[in-house]
Structure 1
Amino acid sequence: MRAVKRLWALLLPLGLLAQSVGWRGDYDKARQEACRRGVSMVVVLVKRNCAPCGALLADLARKEELANMLKKRSVPVVVTWENEDYPIEMLYSRTFPTLFILSCEERFLAEPMGGGQAPSGLLRWFEKEASDER
């Protein structure tokens, strides 16, 4: 019984963090939503059983300002490298996780960001995008 409680104690926060951003798991549906809403897609390319990948997703969700920007100003998507249901250019990525910012027409709007630089790079991109809109 204690083991089950400990498992829930570990899994529940991760589930809540994922909900705080609203990550999509279907790339094509996310692309359609981005086109409909007129926003970009923030795509995080992960690999199965990748601890840094889970850490990045948790880090993005924990940073409240960034989580809110992801929800309101983009369509956040997580794709698994093994799935191959995403633009072919991402297939050449050898760093996991890698974050991409794309238009709904699948144009790359920024250079890919490796896990360690992703949160700060994403925040700078959102800030630049907001200043360009003014």
Structure 2
Amino acid sequence: MIKIVSFVMLIVVMLQGFTLESDYNRAHQKAMQSDKIFIIFLTEKECVACNKELMKIMNAKNVSSLIEKNAIFVVVYKEQKNTFPIEMLYTTQYPTLFFLDKNELFSCKALRGNIQPKELMNCLKLR
């Protein structure tokens, strides 16, 4: 089921204009090469509310265009074995969006739970 949802979300994202990464290290490399920030969407597997929040972000055209222009977007599941900043291990509310610069420093306050497109846009415009 998760694979089907992920595949459908990938198709939707490709149509919306920004690429969704699934590997933190690859996203970090792309951010360094492109001089963009990277946004980590930290989620749990089987989290219906998290999937709804991700779809809300992907379907907001003004947000997706800012992401395409200013950021690399990566989805990280808390259960993943890959490396990511230790601060994310202590997250208890899902989903959470983290905004990091190419040096892996936080560039905006983390957004948690019901993420408002306006808040996300403000973080993207701070760069």
Q: Which TM class, normalised by the smaller chain length?
A: 0.7 to 0.9
Which consecutive unaligned segments of at least 5 residues does structure 2 have?
Answer: none
User: Is the contact between residue 46 and residue 96 of structure 1 (CA under 8 Å) also seen in structure 2?
Assistant: yes
Corresponding residue for residue 113 of structure 1? 111
TM-score, length-scaled by structure 2: 0.85
1:90 to 2:94 alignment: no
Q: Over residues 3-26 of structure 1, what are the superposed CA-to-partner deviations in whole Å (9 max), with x where a residue is unaligned? A: xxxxx9x88864432322311001
Corresponding residue for residue 102 of structure 2? 104
Corresponding residue for residue 4 of structure 1? none
Larger Rg over CA atoms: 1
**Is the strand fraction higher in 1 or 2?**
2
Report how far residue 110 of structure 1 moved.
1.1
Which consecutive unaligned segments of at least 5 residues does structure 1 have?
Answer: 1-7, 130-134
Corresponding residue for residue 16 of structure 1? 11
- Aligned-residue sequence identity (percent) comes to 25
User: Is the contact between residue 99 and residue 118 of structure 1 (CA under 8 Å) also seen in structure 2?
Assistant: no
* Equivalences, count: 121
TM-score, length-scaled by structure 1: 0.81
CA RMSD across the alignment: 2.1
Which amino acid letter does the alignment assign opposite residue 88 of structure 1? Answer: I
Report how far residue 127 of structure 1 moved.
2.8
User: Is the contact between residue 98 and residue 113 of structure 1 (CA under 8 Å) also seen in structure 2?
Assistant: yes
Q: Are the structure 2 counterparts of residues 87 and 11 from structure 1 closer, same or farther at C-alpha, using a change threshold of 3 Å?
A: closer
User: Is the contact between residue 100 and residue 107 of structure 2 (CA under 8 Å) also seen in structure 1?
Assistant: yes
User: Which residue of the other structure, out of 27, 32, 36, is the alignment partner of 1:35?
Assistant: 32
Report how far residue 84 of structure 1 moved.
4.3
